[in-house]
């Protein structure tokens, strides 16, 4: 073997060995086998008793064991690894305290509030029922306290619910407008705080009217029917005029021709070259009383008549006028349907905006929102006035839905708006970020939303929506 090849082979073996030595520390080390858990002390004594002779078995069983030592517990298994990209949707945990509100079947507005404690321990709670604007409480269940402010009024009960019990509260109201539907939501809060357990609402209506079936307007009030009738009349008129004009010309042409034809058929046609003939090859009929023949009038060939130009132009103008009138009526109705009093943010891309009152469930594209209560402090703090709204959010769709704090807004009387204060909202929800996770399909949450506004003005309207392109819902604040 040449010397150069031996040197190359030796160098290759040396480099290969260095690579093996460098890779050895990177190899995974064998995990040590977990130590078997120490058997219980009773098992050790039983094993000792079975392995010793009969004479020493009793002594082994009666030997006292040290009480100061204990078996070393086995190390707990590590938690399973979860990918940080996995998003677990939020599901509203069932609350121990639930609220159900029903409307009383009385001539005057009345409600029944059932508060149920499903836990095995007594629970202290504060029940607040928001009264509709323009009403006042005439009778409440003993223990209730009515409070009234410049804008709202409510009834408050301080209750201590026994385990597995249901408490029913009653409220009777009076109103100046008895024919108006009234909604009165009620919420159960944690004792001494504003964290809601559960909320519910009901609407009282004295004379519920069944939904009327939609009927079409009379034909004479529908522009489409009027235009169709006008077009039909114009077409029939044009067709009648054309037919009458054609018949009149046909009669005028057939009048002089009919007599000549009859005379030609009755006599004999002579063809001659004499002086009495009309010319070579001309047809002649015998004259009266054997006189000289007279020439036969030539038969006029009837041409196919077309409708007059004025008729065609008139029909085209009528059709064009009908199309322009229909387009004008449709455009006028669409322009009249535009509500110019809405805020600019309602010009969303998906769905239509819905407006309601406190205590009325309002549905938008993906979520259903219900505002049960809104409270603002009487004296604003240094950072502003923090108004807290108790809102119920339900996802009726079969898919999880997301919503964002920046899209929840409170409008002030001057037209300005503020988004939800996410830091204050997290603090009101005991450190839980309600906007971090999507809302699971079919779930419902009742939570407080905090809006920080400058000055002492109370929000005039709340705007809640699921996404940027959703029309959202609007709740008027009294």
Find the CATH number of the domain harbouring 450: 2.60.40.1240
pLDDT tens-place string over residues 192-204: 777 899 999 999 8
Q: Does 121 reside within a domain?
A: yes
Contact 428, 194 (CB under 8 A): yes
For residue 198, what are the domain limits? 97-204
Give the pLDDT score at 40.
45
Contact 89, 400 (CB under 8 A): yes
Q: Does 431 reside within a domain?
A: yes
Number of domains in the chain: 2
Q: Which residues contact 73 (CB under 8 A, 6 or more apart)?
A: 37
Residue ranges in the chain modelled with pLDDT below 70: 1-8, 15-16, 18, 21-93, 207-221, 254-307, 333-349, 380
Cα 437 from Cα 434, distance rounded (Å): 7
Q: Does 149 reside within a domain?
A: yes
Q: Does 3 reside within a domain?
A: no
Find the CATH number of the domain harbouring 143: 2.60.40.1510
Give the pLDDT score at 363.
92
Distances (CA, A) of 373 to 201, 212, 292, 391: 11, 32, 120, 7
Read off φ and ψ for residue 281, nearest 5 degrees.
80, 5
Give the pLDDT score at 6.
60
Q: Does 43 reside within a domain?
A: no
Q: Does 101 reside within a domain?
A: yes
Cα 141 from Cα 114, distance rounded (Å): 12
pTM: 0.55
End residue of a domain, out of 141, 175, 204: 204
Kindly state the tokens that stand for 33.
Answer: 């086998």
Give the pLDDT score at 100.
95
**Residue 16: strand, helix, or coil:** helix
Give the pLDDT score at 161.
94
Residue 145's DSSP bridge partners are: 156
Give the pLDDT score at 216.
61
Cα 253 from Cα 301, distance rounded (Å): 9
Q: Does 326 reside within a domain?
A: no
End residue of a domain, out of 152, 170, 204: 204
Contact 426, 400 (CB under 8 A): no
Count of helix runs (H) and strand runs (E) in the chain: 6, 22
Kindly state the tokens that stand for 477.
Answer: 């604040």
Residue 100's closest CA among 119, 86, 116? 116
Residue 477's closest CA among 385, 371, 382? 371
Is the Cα torsion angle 117, 119, 123, 129 positive or negative in sign? Answer: negative
Residue 137's closest CA among 152, 150, 125? 152
Kindly state the tokens that stand for 449.
Answer: 């939303």
Give the pLDDT score at 475.
95
End residue of a domain, out of 141, 172, 204: 204
Q: Does 45 reside within a domain?
A: no
Contact 314, 304 (CB under 8 A): no
Contact 97, 116 (CB under 8 A): yes
Give the pLDDT score at 111.
94
Residue 389's DSSP bridge partners are: 374, 449
Give the pLDDT score at 220.
60
pLDDT tens-place string over residues 261-290: 444 444 444 444 444 444 444 445 555 555
What is the distance of C-alpha 291 from the center of its chain? 103
């Amino acid at each position: 073997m040449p010397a150069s090849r031996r040197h190359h082979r030796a160098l290759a073996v040396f480099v290969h060995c260095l690579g093996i030595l460098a890779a050895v520390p990177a190899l995974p080390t064998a995990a040590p086998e977990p130590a078997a858990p120490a058997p219980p002390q009773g098992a050790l004594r039983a094993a000792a008793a079975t392995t010793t002779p009969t004479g020493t078995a009793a002594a082994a069983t009666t030997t006292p064991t040290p009480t100061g030592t204990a078996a070393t517990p086995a190390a707990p298994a590590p938690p399973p690894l979860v990918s940080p990209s996995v998003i677990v949707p939020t599901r509203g945990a069932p609350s121990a305290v639930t609220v159900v509100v029903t409307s009383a079947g009385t001539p005057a507005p009345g409600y029944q509030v059932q508060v149920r404690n499903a836990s095995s321990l007594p629970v202290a709670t504060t029940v607040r029922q928001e009264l509709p604007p323009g009403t006042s409480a005439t009778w409440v269940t003993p223990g209730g306290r009515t409070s009234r402010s410049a804008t709202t009024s409510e009834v408050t009960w301080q209750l201590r619910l026994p385990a597995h019990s249901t408490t029913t509260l009653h409220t009777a109201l009076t109103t100046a407008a008895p024919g108006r539907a009234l909604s009165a939501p009620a919420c159960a809060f944690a004792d001494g705080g504003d964290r809601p357990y559960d909320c519910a609402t009901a609407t009282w209506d004295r004379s519920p009217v069944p939904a009327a079936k939609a009927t079409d307007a009379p034909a004479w009030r529908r522009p489409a029917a009027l235009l169709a009738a006008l077009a039909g009349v114009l077409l029939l008129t044009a067709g009648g005029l054309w037919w009458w004009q054609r018949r009149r010309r046909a009669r005028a042409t057939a009048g002089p021709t009919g007599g000549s034809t009859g005379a030609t058929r009755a006599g004999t046609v002579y063809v001659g070259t004499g002086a009495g003939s009309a010319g070579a090859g001309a047809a002649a009929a015998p004259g009266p009383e054997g006189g000289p023949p007279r020439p036969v009038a030539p038969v006029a060939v009837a041409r196919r008549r077309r409708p007059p130009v004025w008729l065609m132009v008139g029909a085209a103008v009528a059709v064009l006028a009908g199309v322009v009138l229909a387009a004008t009526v449709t455009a006028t109705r669409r322009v009249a349907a535009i509500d110019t009093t809405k805020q600019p943010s309602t010009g969303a891309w998906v769905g239509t905006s819905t407006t309601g009152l406190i205590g009325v469930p309002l549905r938008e594209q993906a979520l259903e929102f219900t505002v049960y209560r809104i409270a603002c402090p009487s004296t604003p703090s240094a950072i502003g006035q923090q108004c807290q709204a108790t809102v119920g959010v339900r996802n009726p769709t079969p898919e999880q839905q997301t919503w964002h704090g920046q899209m929840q807004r409170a409008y002030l009387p001057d037209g300005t708006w503020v988004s939800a204060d996410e830091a204050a909202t997290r603090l009101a929800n005991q450190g839980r970020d309600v906007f971090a996770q999507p809302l699971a399909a079919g779930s419902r949450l009742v939570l407080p939303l905090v809006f920080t506004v400058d000055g002492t003005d109370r929000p005039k309207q709340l705007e809640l929506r699921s996404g940027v392109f959703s029309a959202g819902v609007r709740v008027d604040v009294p």
